[in-house]
Amino acid sequence: MEEKNQNVNGTNKIHTVSIEQQKRVRLTGITGVVALTEKEADLTLSLGRLIITGNKLTADKLDIESGVLTLTADSILGMQYLTERKKSKGIFRRL
């Protein structure tokens, strides 16, 4: 049986992160870039978003078709995953 690792737009939905010496990050499974500044990269994944913070962030390689992004920085300071919350259908939804 063949395992399917493709999402709707054809990019690889398997997400990986590789950090080298707190200065270089290689990511796979990227479906888009919302914003990129010297201090923050806001990325979309098939399962949500990823925010990477650092000093002097730059994109060395970006290939949305294959879902690969490589960032370099003076230092990578943090990463945070964000997922969409499902709306509650309970009593507190109306408050």
The pTM for the full model equals: 0.76
Q: Residue 80 pLDDT more than 50?
A: yes
Structure tokens at 72: 């370099």
pLDDT digits (tens, 9 = 90+) for 33-54: 999 999 999 999 988 999 999 9
Domain boundaries, the chain: 17-83
The tokens 């949500």 sit on which residue?
48
**What's phi and psi for 67, nearest 5 deg?**
80, 25
Q: In 3D, which of 28, 26, 30, 34 has the Cα closest to residue 60?
A: 26
Query: Where does 17-83 sit in CATH, by number?
Result: 2.60.40.2000
